[in-house]
Amino acid sequence: MKTWLVLFGKELMEMRRNFKMLWVPIVFLLLGIMQPVTTYFLPEIIKASGDMPESFTFPTPTAADVMVKTLGNFGQVGLLILALAVMSALSGERASGMAANLLVKPISRTSYILSKWAAAVVLAWSSFLLGMIGAWYYTVQLVSTISFANVILGSLIYGLWITVVVTATLLMSGILRSGAAAAGVSLLFAIVLSVVSSSLPRFMKWSPSQLTSHAYSFINEGHVGAHVTLPLVTAILFIVVLLAGTVAVLRRKEPVAS
């Protein structure tokens, strides 16, 4: 445990040094604020453009609509940002020789991988929740009120899907030499799984990507669907299997100290 804590502290320190702990949360906060602000000013922008008839009445979105659209932004741009932040977690250290210098010491491969995964998850969750809180605050100020508890609980459900994608990126970073390729493959995995799950909802109730729709339901209605347990359990299994695969990949590709 002591070794893991040292490695975890090292990962957090590196994230501070390369400013990931700064720019990733800022990007998520801006993404979160952007949706309610855009929703509030959009009618005025359209009127100022002069392209709409004077009799046109712009539909008033609800606070839940704004928060759901914010989650949609995080599911697109947010996942891309996290994939870019995590893509070189393993491939970068293997290329620089840092992994070799660490792993010739009596350090467990599992501790090494889990420290990187935990640091990536802390970065992802803190940034995501900061963005959602920012979105909630400006939605309440500019649109209408919405339950903070519903927003947070819906975010916790959605955050598990984010964790799956982050874990997949870490695995790809261990398999592929290119960080960009690792980010691309993990995002492709998320897109394909989401598209297939939305196209075949009856047969893909187990898919972790279904957590997205359950998060939407909780924010909108204050409760989740009847089948939320299955994707929750599957998401946890995905995370465990992906982490085990990452450890196995690292053991197979034994580093040589430089």
What pLDDT does residue 49 have? 66
pLDDT value of residue 89:
84
Question: What pLDDT score does 56 carry?
Answer: 59
Q: Residue 78 in 3-state DSSP?
A: helix
Task: Tell me which of 73-77, 174-178, 254-258 is least confident.
Answer: 254-258
pLDDT of 55 reads 59
State how far the Cα of 186 lies from the Cα of 168, in Å rounded to an integer: 6
- Locate the domains of the chain by residue range: 2-252
Q: What phi-psi label fits residue 249: left (phi over 0), alpha (psi between -120 and 50 degrees) or beta?
A: alpha
At residue 258, the pLDDT reads 41
pLDDT tens for 98-147 read 666 666 666 788 888 999 999 999 999 999 999 999 999 999 999 999 99
Distance, in Å, from the CA atom of 64 to the CA atom of 136, rounded to the nearest integer, reads 10
How far CA 151 is from CA of 32, 39, 205, 209, 241, in Å, comes to 12, 18, 23, 18, 29
Orientation of helix 20-49 relative to helix 109-142, angle to 10°: 30
